[in-house]
């Protein structure tokens, strides 16, 4: 039986959903079990991607999916290699470099599940000390290995967010929530220290369209309305009147109701405030000429044309602010193989990666944001991952009665035609247990992490958090590596399941 040795590049939620689905559809008790191996690679040393480094700390319930991922990791057919960068040079200097030439010969199938890690910038707002992407803020408060600099909150009283999606509201909520309220969550101590020194008094959340087009969810908006010591600046009632003859969705109706009701704290009752500035689009940022001045953000006033696009009215205004944070979406890294610049992510059909000349790349797939772009929530990511799993299984077991989400739908004539003209980049037969020697050596040196190492770090982070009365206290890479060196028993390492550990030393 031909082996299905799948390498997944990226170890975020989409990766784990595909892996766990494959393992459940090809159970260890089944006839295909012995031919399946799954190796997850991530340039981050810890698994779970966006769940660990993107979810707002005060949303711990969103991280519950990791229980399912942990369960999948108990299957010996699944292995994780963290702190390994597959492909072009990584921005993380400590990640082990592994070129495609060194990587591809070990696998019969490859899945790209690398997400969208590059922020989309505004053409009128080049990055500077006064203008940063929201991703830098998120990576700061989640202690991402890229180590962005903390924002200068001690000398910032006014923050302006460009974009009205959930990420903008996450950042605004982190800036306006009292640090003592955040202290019980997964917020690193250095982040809490900066937030306690914060001078932020107002956050403006700017969008080029109106309340009916805002991308945030009602859940996120309600959380803003209920901030304990902040209040929303009232909106012009005309903005909250639905257009005559329009039919609103349930979410639009609830959004208008929340905005009409206003925040729990009424205006004038709190020192801290926030505002939703609709129908405004940035056209430029003038930086201060002296330490006592603020930056000046120029905003074009907009309106909706018949197709609901924002177009300028000809009017403009200026907003004085200390810091601009852009939250305009993300794209995949252009250095990814088969990246499509027109899409901002990989081009796929039914999960199969398509080459620039329009041909299927045989046995190479993509899932999640790497395939769809940065949209959707965990539930939609899961459904996409399951659909890609179906494609992998149908391609590998054509005509066989292998259970899939779609009920084992047969390979279509179009699929067969595409397969005839596919690009070949992977071998058909490999050693199921082999891994690249660089990765083997990295495991021995402690530079590459595996699940057993992660479990030890995870338990220690939770233990430290319990001592401090919080969810966990995170480690950075240097601290995690030092910790693992103490708990690791030196043995000959030939893979994940040959590593053993002792309890941490007391020094």
Where is the binding site for FAD, in residues? Answer: 14, 50, 86, 369
The DSSP code for 460 is: H
- CA distance linking residue 278 with residue 345, whole number of Å: 29
What are the backbone angles phi and psi of residue 444, rounded to the nearest 5°?
A: -65, -40
- CA distance linking residue 137 with residue 150, whole number of Å: 8
Burial of 485 (C-beta count, 10 Å sphere; 0-12/13-18/19+): exposed
Cβ–Cβ under 8 Å, residues 209 and 280: no
Cβ–Cβ under 8 Å, residues 200 and 270: no
**Over 300-345, what HEC string results?**
EEEEECCCCCEEEEEEEEEEEECEEEECCCEECCCCCCCEECCCCE
Provide the annotated binding site for NADP(+). Answer: 164-167, 208-209, 220, 376
**Over 413-442, what HEC string results?**
HHHHHHHHCCECCCCCCCCCCCCCHHHHHH
Cβ–Cβ under 8 Å, residues 82 and 47: yes
User: Tokens in use for 61?
Assistant: 């319930």
Q: Tell me which residue has tokens 């990420």.
A: 167
Element (H, E) at 280: strand 280-286
Cβ–Cβ under 8 Å, residues 50 and 142: no
Element (H, E) at 96: strand 96-98
Asked whether the CA dihedral 268, 274, 278, 281 is positive or negative, the reply is positive
User: Tokens in use for 50?
Assistant: 């966006």
Cβ–Cβ under 8 Å, residues 333 and 117: yes
Cβ–Cβ under 8 Å, residues 362 and 416: no
Cβ–Cβ under 8 Å, residues 49 and 13: yes
Provide the annotated binding site. Answer: 14, 50, 86, 164-167, 208-209, 220, 369, 376
Residue 181's CB: how many other CB atoms inside 10 A?
12
């Amino acid at each position: 039986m031909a082996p299905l040795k799948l390498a997944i590049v990226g170890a975020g939620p989409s990766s784990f959903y595909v892996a766990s689905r494959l393992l459940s559809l090809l159970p260890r008790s089944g006839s295909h079990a012995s031919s399946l191996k799954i190796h997850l690679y991530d340039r981050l040393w810890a698994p779970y991607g966006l769940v660990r480094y993107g979810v707002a700390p005060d949303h711990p319930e969103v991280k519950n999916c990791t229980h399912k991922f942990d369960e999948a990791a108990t299957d010996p057919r699944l292995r994780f290699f963290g702190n390994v960068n597959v492909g072009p040079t990584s921005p993380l200097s400590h990640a082990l470099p592994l070129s495609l030439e060194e990587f591809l010969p070990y696998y019969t199938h490859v899945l790209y599940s690398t997400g969208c890690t590059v922020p989309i910038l505004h053409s009128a707002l080049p990055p500077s000390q006064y203008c940063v992407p929201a991703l830098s803020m998120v990576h700061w408060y989640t202690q991402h290995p890229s180590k962005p600099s903390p924002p200068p909150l001690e000398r910032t009283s006014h923050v302006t967010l460009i974009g009205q999606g959930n990420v903008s509201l996450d950042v605004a909520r982190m800036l306006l929530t009292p640090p003592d309220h955040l202290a019980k969550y997964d917020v690193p101590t250095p982040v809490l220290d900066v937030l306690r020194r914060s001078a932020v008094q107002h956050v403006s959340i700017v969008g080029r369209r109106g309340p009916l087009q805002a991308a945030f969810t009602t859940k996120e908006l309600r959380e803003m309305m209920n901030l304990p010591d902040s209040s929303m600046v009232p909106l012009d009632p005309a903005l909250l009147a639905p257009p005559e003859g329009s039919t609103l969705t349930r979410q639009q109706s609830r959004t208008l109701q929340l905005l009409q009701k206003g925040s729990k704290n009424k205006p004038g009752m709190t020192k801290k405030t926030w505002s939703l500035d609709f129908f405004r689009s940035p056209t430029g940022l003038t930086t201060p000429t002296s330490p006592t001045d603020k930056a000046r953000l120029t905003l074009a006033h907009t309106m909706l044309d018949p197709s609901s696009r924002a177009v300028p009215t000809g009017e403009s205004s200026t907003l004085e602010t200390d810091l601009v944070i852009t939250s305009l979406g993300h794209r995949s890294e252009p250095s990814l193989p088969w990246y499509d610049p027109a899409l901002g992510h990989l081009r796929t059909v039914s999960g199969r990666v398509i080459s620039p000349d329009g041909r299927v790349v045989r046995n190479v797939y993509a899932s999640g944001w790497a395939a769809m772009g940065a949209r959707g929530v965990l539930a939609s990511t899961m459904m996409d991952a399951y659909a890609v799993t179906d494609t992998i299984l149908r391609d590998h077991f054509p005509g066989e009665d292998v259970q899939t989400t779609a009920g084992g739908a047969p390979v279509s004539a179009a699929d067969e035609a595409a397969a005839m003209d596919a690009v070949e980049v992977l071998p058909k037969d490999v050693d199921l247990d082999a891994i690249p020697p660089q990765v083997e050596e990295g495991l021995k040196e402690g530079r590459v992490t595996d699940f057993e190492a992660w479990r030890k770090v995870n338990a220690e982070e939770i233990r430290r958090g319990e001592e401090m009365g919080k969810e966990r206290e995170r480690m950075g890479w240097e601290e995690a590596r030092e910790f693992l060196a103490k708990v690791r028993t030196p043995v000959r390492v030939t893979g994940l399941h040959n590593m053993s550990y002792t309890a941490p030393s007391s020094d």
